[in-house]
């Protein structure tokens, strides 16, 4: 296999792992309160991420105060995004939530232009406008189409966008594994703190297996994401992030008996197409700058 083929396979594997995690969390959400889910999954996932960070030599605690401030800010955005996304996941079909999350690259590009003064040409602006039009087809604002789940999902996109903007401003000496572990621990602390307001429910073998499986899938997704960045060309690999939509459609149909209507599928296709074009233009622009 070529480097690009390997990278594409790893990206597709990462998206599959993240989507299987979402499905397992959705399965347990009807029986367990969200703080309990975040705490148990967070303990297992943080431990695995810690082992990976030690293995890769990416754990560094002696950092400047500014770096820790940005890590803390990113962790807060991660906590808010996790809570909002999982709440939306409990209220909406998994394919719809996943489709809305595909707006993320467009939102990050637009926000970087507005707040970080990064240059964005008219082609990418047109793609962003098309992508947000596709998003409107998914959420369908109005008394019949717009739901609480859509609101939570869009709020999650806003928080993830803020998280990624903070990540872009992170000092280069901060290892990515350190940031990831800190974010995972932030979600774990939030789960523990919010547990005081809910009553934990007894767990059977299914719930334990589902949450341990979710932690493993989160870990596998991050591991594949790290490996993806080390092989091939980003421009050739990045479009495979949209393979998560396919997995969401399959799992939604097989596990939950959900299948989105034609408008939702059309909106998802527009969002994915606009996102892939934006990624292509960003990589092409980066190549011109390097030349």
Digit-by-digit pLDDT tens for the chain (291 residues) are: 678 788 888 888 988 999 999 999 999 998 999 999 999 999 999 999 999 888 888 888 888 888 899 999 999 999 999 999 999 999 989 988 988 888 877 887 788 777 777 777 778 788 878 888 888 887 776 555 567 888 899 899 999 888 888 887 888 888 888 888 999 999 999 999 999 899 999 999 999 999 999 999 988 988 887 677 667 666 667 678 888 888 999 999 999 998 888 888 898 888 888 877 877 776 676 666 565
Positive or negative torsion for Cα 209, 27, 83, 170? positive
Match 């307001």 to its residue by tokens: 197
CA distances from 79 to 38, 179, 291 (A): 10, 13, 39
Residue 222's nearest CA partner among 85, 5, 58, 35 is 58
Say if CB 73 and CB 239 are below 8 A apart: no
CA distances from 203 to 37, 42, 55, 151, 210 (A): 11, 16, 32, 30, 11
Token duo for residue 264: 């939702």
Contacts of 54 (CB under 8 A, 6+ apart): none
Longest alpha-carbon distance in the chain: 60
Query: How many CA atoms lie within 13 Å of 169's alpha carbon, on the beta-carbon side?
Result: 19
Say if CB 25 and CB 86 are below 8 A apart: yes
Instruction: Give the integer Cα–Cα distance in Å for 283 and 266.
Output: 26
Token duo for residue 224: 């594949």
Say if CB 6 and CB 188 are below 8 A apart: no
């Amino acid at each position: 296999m070529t480097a690009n083929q390997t990278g594409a396979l790893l990206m597709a594997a990462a998206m599959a792992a993240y989507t299987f995690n979402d499905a397992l969390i959705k399965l347990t959400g009807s029986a367990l309160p969200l703080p309990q889910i975040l705490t148990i999954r967070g303990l297992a996932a943080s431990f695995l991420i810690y082992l990976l960070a030690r293995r890769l030599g990416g754990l560094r605690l002696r950092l400047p105060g500014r770096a820790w401030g940005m890590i803390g800010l990113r962790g807060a955005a991660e906590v808010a995004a996790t809570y909002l996304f999982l709440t939306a996941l409990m209220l909406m079909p998994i394919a719809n939530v996943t489709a809305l999350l595909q707006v993320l690259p467009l939102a990050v590009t637009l926000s970087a232009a507005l707040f970080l003064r990064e240059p964005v040409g008219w082609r990418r602006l047109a793609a962003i406008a098309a992508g947000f039009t596709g998003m409107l087809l998914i959420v369908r604002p109005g008394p019949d189409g717009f739901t609480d789940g859509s609101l939570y999902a869009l709020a999650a996109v806003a928080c993830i966008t803020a998280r990624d903007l903070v990540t872009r401003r992170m000092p280069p000496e901060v290892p990515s594994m350190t940031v990831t572990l800190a974010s995972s621990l932030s979600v774990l602390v939030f789960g523990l703190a919010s547990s005081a307001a809910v009553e934990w429910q007894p767990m059977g073998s299914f719930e334990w297996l589902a949450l341990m499986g979710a932690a493993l899938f989160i870990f596998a997704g991050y591991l594949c994401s790290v490996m993806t960045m080390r092989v091939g060309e980003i421009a050739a690999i990045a479009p495979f992030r949209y393979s998560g939509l396919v997995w969401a459609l399959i799992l939604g149909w097989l596990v939950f008996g959900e299948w989105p209507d034609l408008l939702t599928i059309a909106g998802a296709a527009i969002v994915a197409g606009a996102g892939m074009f934006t990624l292509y233009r960003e990589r092409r622009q980066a190549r011109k700058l390097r030349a």
